[in-house]
Amino acid sequence: MATFISVPLKKSSEVDLVKPLSKFVTSTYPPGEEQTESLRAVEELNKLRKSALGRPLDKHESSLEILLRYYDQLCAIEPKLPFTELCLTFTWKDAFDKGSLFGGSVKLALASLGYEKTCVLFNVGALASQIASEQNLDNDEGLKTAAKFYQLASGAFAHIKDTVLSALNREPTMDISPETVGTLSQIMLSQAQEVFVLKATADKMKDAIVAKLANQAADYYSDAFKQCQYKENLPKEVLPVLAAKHCMMQATAELHQSALAHQKKKFGEEIARLQHATELVKTATSRYDEYVNVKDLSDKISRALTAAKKDNDFIYHDRVPEVKDLEHIGKASLVKATAIQTPLSQKFTDLFEKMVPMAVQQSMSAANSRKADTVNRLIGSMREATNLCNGVLASLNLPAALEDLSGDAVPQSILEKSRAVVQQGGLQSIEQLIKDLPELLQRNREILDESLKMLDDEETTDNELRGKFNQRWNRTPSGDLYKPLRAEGNNFRNILDKAVQADQVVKERYTAHCEMIALLCKPENELSAAIPSANPTKTLQGSEVVNVLRAQLAQLDEVKREREVLEGEVKSVTFDMTAKFLTALAQDGAINEEALTTSELDTRYGSHTQRVQQNLRRQEELLSQIQVSHQEFSALKQSNSEANNREEVLKKLASAHDSYIEISCNIKEGTKFYNDLTEILLKFQNKCSDIVFARKTERDELLKELQQSIAREPSAPSFNIPSYQSNTPAPASGGPTPGPRSVFTQQQPQAKPQPPARPPLPNITPQAASTSAPVSTPVAPSSTNLPPVAPPSQAQGPPYSTYQGYPGYYQMPMAYNPYAYAQFNMPYMPYQAQGQAGYPGAPPAQQPYPYPQQPPQQQPYYPQQ
């Protein structure tokens, strides 16, 4: 039976999922049951990864089940956690790389959950192929199981082919490249089809069906062979196995089609197909015998061919057609790559079932932002109306003008305002808050600058190493990876700049009103002395205008109290959009957050918006009436400079009180803003620190791998030196001293000492050479040397070796070498080594022989290979 191909597993480095995921959970969810369950789920996920990837897996369905559960969990958790921000780096080795003598292998580290999913799915396909290859194909259950897992493996590799580039956003390692996994998918599909051929044969199905199945399997193997021809990273035995499988399946198809021809009494076609099958089997046997066993198939075909020929020769005498004239065999496919649809495991339960997807979390964040905008808009419009009301009343000196009819006492409203300012801390509290603002601002700036500096330093180092190693520095550039963080940092910087401008506005308002605020903080007697006195206006105390103004001011106070109640109601409105967002995501696959949130806000805040608008219109009407009444009141008052000065001071005091309240609220809000921003910036700093640490760890691993790779590289390009140019020193003992050789180049040769003179070459014609006496048998060599070889029948040059010479290998000296000397037009230089007999001498006249003779009693010169 032919060998079935299985794929090796990828190996992964250990990754700690607990720390970064727990950090995210604790920072995202408030303490409580939900946070506790999420932290427990993080621990279970880490254990599941160790079980799936941290130990050798048996070739059993239980091991595959663990891999499937981990893959399903990754798919389920991907939309729920922001893995791009968690900086989890996954390192995987190439499945087909065997490393080297110095260790190390091709591996890739990426901070991408898509990369982790791709590699886990590769292991799903690899382990499925291994389980299928271990099945017993002699029984029906084993055949069904093998076909099932081969189709699963094919589907896994096909899914990787379609998704790997988008999942990684960079060039993957060779084992998970689209070309490689596409080839693996085709191989697995071919083997699944072959299993169905075996099952059809075992079930003794009709020959027509088996022939179509086998022909389809041969076609699949042919496609796999074509795809595999240029895949240098696949094991070397894959290609011959595919070629042998193609021959075997084609031969099987021809065998069963020949049986069908026999049934149709087409005996010539039967013989032609069996002959073709025989040729295919011979090809598989002669070329791929070490990879496949085709003896059973060969014997079956041989027996059928012998019987068919015998019957045709003695009985039918049907003409045997050419193979090219035979009708093509049909094809029938019973296999299909299993579609990868989660969950793959039937026992899968989501560990993070109660955690909402990131799309819902982002929609919730956007909805909360819209809600905050709505609340701020309503409350802001009411507070703006209150400030407008206070400003108008202060400009009219109301209600102080109605209380100051005596002209010398401090109005009651001014005394109440003074007491309110003193109770809230007076000038000292505001000055202290204003003094603290620059310190809070500076602290936030330092945190932000330090965070961005970490990114800058790491990016600078990454760019330097990228410039040094060029394409070898094959990791995501830091500049691309840090774009979201830099955008977030720029947003924080803009927020700080706007906060500085707001602080400046508050300080200017404080400077403008600080004198009157200080006056409000003084005791009543000092306050009364500071306010100018005026002529009494007691005649106005019982006038109708005064009564109307007081009634209008009372109505205005009621409007202001109504706004305070309304502001509390607006703040207390709460609602949760989670259920609606989850429903929309489940039904449509996407969330139209703006439409859903706007509709909900209109429902929740519609009535409040109407009440706010009615309140503002009511205030506007009252202010118009108060202004008209005040004009009548002012006309009745006796106008003089003292009264005007007094009224001006009272207006400033009322305005100072309103400004104090507003400035105090603004500064407190600013202080709270800076403190809240500090916590956010600290989280941002931790995020930057985590990703920089992960990048440094990844950088160190990549540097180590590159150093090992560089150490394995040769220091100079390799090239082959012809053996006759090798200047190998002579052996110390055990053989004759070889003649010297020179390395000839196209450059001018250096002057060398001339060797001793040698006798001239004999002038011998080819005819004389052909009639020369035979050479006497040379002395037998020692057991450590090669046996002698008879001299050639015609003159030859020295042999040209296809590899470099090595110590102990010497070229046989020749009297005439047309290759080494003639092409450079160099004269022959005779040579006689010290202590060596003259070599070669002219042969005696009575035995003309054109070749050199070995010195007597010495070892012959032959290549010591």
* Amino acid 639: pLDDT: 54
> Which range (618-622, 682-686, 701-705, 791-795) has the least confidence?
791-795
Half-sphere exposure of 227 (CA within 13 A, CB side): 17
Q: Position of tokens 């729920």?
A: 80
Asked if 695 and 476 touch (Cβ cutoff 8 Å), the reply is no
405 vs 785, higher pLDDT = 405
Half-sphere exposure of 697 (CA within 13 A, CB side): 17
> Which range (50-64, 286-300, 484-498, 755-769) has the least confidence?
755-769
In angstroms, rounded to a whole number, what is the distance separating the alpha carbons of residues 197 and 2? 13
In angstroms, rounded to a whole number, what is the distance separating the alpha carbons of residues 260 and 269? 10
* Amino acid 104: pLDDT: 44
| 79 three-state secondary structure | coil
Using left for φ > 0, alpha for ψ between -120 and 50, and beta otherwise, residue 15 falls in beta
List helix spans (H) across 134-177. Answer: 140-168
Locate 683 and state its tokens: 């989280």
Q: How confident is the model at residue 738 (pLDDT cuts 50, 70, 90)?
A: very low
* Amino acid 403: pLDDT: 63
| CA-atom Rg of the chain in angstroms | 49
Greatest mean pLDDT among 473-487, 550-564, 828-842, 849-863 lies in 550-564
**Closest by CA position to 42, among listed 85, 14, 87, 80:** 80
| Peptide bond preceding 399 in cis form (omega within 30 of 0) | yes
Q: Which residues pair with 12 in a beta bridge?
A: 92
Asked if 151 and 337 touch (Cβ cutoff 8 Å), the reply is yes
**Closest by CA position to 146, among listed 194, 183, 85:** 194
pLDDT in tens, 484-519: 888 989 999 999 898 888 888 888 888 887 888 887
DSSP letter (8 states) at residue 357:
P
* Amino acid 727: pLDDT: 52
**Cα dihedral 816, 817, 818, 820 sign:** negative
Cα angle vertex 695, ends 694, 700, to 5°? Answer: 100
* Amino acid 334: pLDDT: 93
Q: Which residues pair with 108 in a beta bridge?
A: 92
How many residues in the chain? 865
pLDDT in tens, 422-438: 888 877 787 888 888 88
Cα angle vertex 797, ends 792, 798, to 5°? Answer: 95
* Amino acid 820: pLDDT: 44
Asked if 427 and 521 touch (Cβ cutoff 8 Å), the reply is yes
Question: What type of residue sits at position 832?
Answer: Q
Q: pTM for the full model?
A: 0.61
* Amino acid 761: pLDDT: 44
In angstroms, rounded to a whole number, what is the distance separating the alpha carbons of residues 435 and 370? 34
Locate 181 and state its tokens: 């996994």
Q: How confident is the model at residue 839 (pLDDT cuts 50, 70, 90)?
A: very low
Residue 302: how many other CB atoms lie within 10 Å? 14
Locate 394 and state its tokens: 């202060």
Interval 244-265 mean pLDDT: 92
Q: Residue 636 pLDDT > 60, yes or no? A: yes
Asked if 152 and 128 touch (Cβ cutoff 8 Å), the reply is yes
Percent of the chain as helix, strand, coil, to the nearest 5: 65, 0, 35
**Cα dihedral 595, 598, 604, 610 sign:** negative
Q: Which residues pair with 107 in a beta bridge?
A: 93
